[in-house]
């Protein structure tokens, strides 16, 4: 029995039943694609035209390795923090992906092995970052905290670092007597206060600039999101028009729509 297949807007074939069964097994065609034979005289799904072979029924059994691989990958991500215990699940996932590729599940096997490599790398990097952060926090705790800057601390340090001048007295040897002079330290409060105010002003200016950049970024994201929504709406409208034309054509001429979708 010769079968013609309709896919992607064109007719292909004719093929024999064995060839169609092999195409469905390899994934070239889906069992829901339409097929035409002179025996039935109309377009029917391939599942109604070709009897499933034992090899096709065994595909579900072969996919068990893929399912087990994904389960091991999830368990590895969940148990990685238990002193690296999740690496055992990653190794099991790697082996199951190779088994899947050997049982004609090439696409699923490649996806599984790629996910395993990326998940292992990400978990390793996060684990090293956690160790580094803990080490830095412990080092800071051991070294002690640093007092923050303030005008009071600055004035205290400046006053403590400068020696207090002692009054100088002179014993008069002859008239007129020499008057005693006392030298007072120059005030430091005004300079420290000015530095503190300058620091606060620079901090406020930097904070305002950061808020302005954040607001600009939010506006740009909003414009981009609006553009994406408009594009999706246009694509949806085109799809609806195409589907309506396709239904009208098939209802009128009782055959598949010969034109491919424009999107």
Residues 133 and 80 in one domain: yes
Residues 66 and 127 in one domain: yes
Residues 65 and 135 in one domain: yes
Which of 57, 78, 98 is at the close of a domain?
A: 57
What is the phi/psi pair of residue 51, to 5°?
-75, 130
- Confidence band, pLDDT 50/70/90 cuts, at residue 205: very high
Residues 48 and 96 in one domain: no
Does residue 64 form part of some domain? yes
Residues 50 and 65 in one domain: no
Pairwise CA distance, residues 74 & 18, whole Å: 39
Q: Is 205 helix (H, G, I), strand (E, B) or coil?
A: helix
Does residue 216 form part of some domain? no
**CA of 15: how far to CAs of 20, 21, 25, 253, in Å?**
6, 10, 15, 25
pLDDT number for residue 164: 53
Which of 119, 139, 159 is at the close of a domain?
A: 139
Does residue 151 form part of some domain? no
Number of domains in the chain: 2
Does residue 262 form part of some domain? no
Name residues whose C-beta falls within 8 Å of residue 124's C-beta, 6 or more positions apart in sequence. Answer: none
Pairwise CA distance, residues 90 & 121, whole Å: 11
- The alpha carbon of residue 253 and the mean position of all alpha carbons in its chain are separated, in whole angstroms, by 49
User: 66 near 106, Cβ under 8 Å?
Assistant: no
Residues 81 and 130 in one domain: yes
Does residue 234 form part of some domain? no
Residues 79 and 129 in one domain: yes
Does residue 169 form part of some domain? no
Q: Are strands 43-45 and 10-15 parallel, antiparallel or unpaired?
A: unpaired
Residues 51 and 87 in one domain: no
Which of 81, 109, 139 is at the close of a domain?
A: 139
Name residues whose C-beta falls within 8 Å of residue 238's C-beta, 6 or more positions apart in sequence. Answer: 261, 262, 263
Residues 65 and 131 in one domain: yes
Averaged pLDDT for residues 115-135: 84
Residues 64 and 116 in one domain: yes
Domain of residue 129 covers 60-139
Does residue 120 form part of some domain? yes
Averaged pLDDT for residues 239-255: 88
pLDDT number for residue 14: 81
pLDDT number for residue 138: 86
Does residue 99 form part of some domain? yes
pTM above 0.85, yes or no: no
Residues 66 and 132 in one domain: yes
Q: How confident is the model over 49-100, as pLDDT tens digits?
A: 776 444 444 444 456 778 888 888 888 888 776 656 677 888 888 888 888 8
């Amino acid at each position: 029995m010769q079968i013609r297949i309709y896919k992607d807007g064109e007719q292909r074939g004719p093929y024999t039943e064995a060839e169609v069964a092999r195409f469905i097994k390899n994934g070239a065609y889906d069992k829901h694609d339409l097929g035409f034979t002179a025996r039935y005289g109309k377009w029917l799904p391939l599942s109604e035209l070709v009897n499933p072979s034992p090899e096709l029924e065994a595909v579900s059994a072969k996919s068990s390795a893929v399912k087990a691989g994904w389960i091991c990958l999830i368990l590895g991500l969940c148990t990685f923090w238990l002193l690296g215990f999740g690496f055992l699940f990653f190794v099991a996932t790697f082996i199951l992906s190779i088994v899947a590729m050997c049982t004609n599940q090439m696409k699923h096997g490649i996806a599984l092995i790629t996910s395993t490599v990326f998940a292992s790398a990400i978990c390793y990097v996060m684990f090293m970052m956690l160790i580094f952060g803990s080490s830095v926090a412990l080092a800071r705790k051991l070294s002690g905290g640093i007092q923050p800057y303030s005008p009071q601390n600055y004035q205290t340090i400046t006053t403590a670092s400068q020696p207090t001048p002692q009054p100088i007295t002179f014993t008069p040897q002859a008239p007129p007597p020499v008057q005693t002079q006392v030298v007072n330290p120059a005030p430091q409060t005004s300079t420290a206060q000015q530095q503190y105010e300058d620091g606060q002003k620079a901090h406020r200016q930097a904070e305002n600039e950061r808020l302005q950049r954040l607001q600009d970024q939010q506006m740009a994201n909003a414009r981009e999101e609006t553009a994406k929504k408009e594009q999706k709406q246009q694509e949806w409208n085109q799809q609806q028009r195409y589907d309506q034309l396709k239904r009208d054509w098939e209802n009128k001429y009782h055959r598949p729509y010969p034109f491919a979708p424009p999107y």
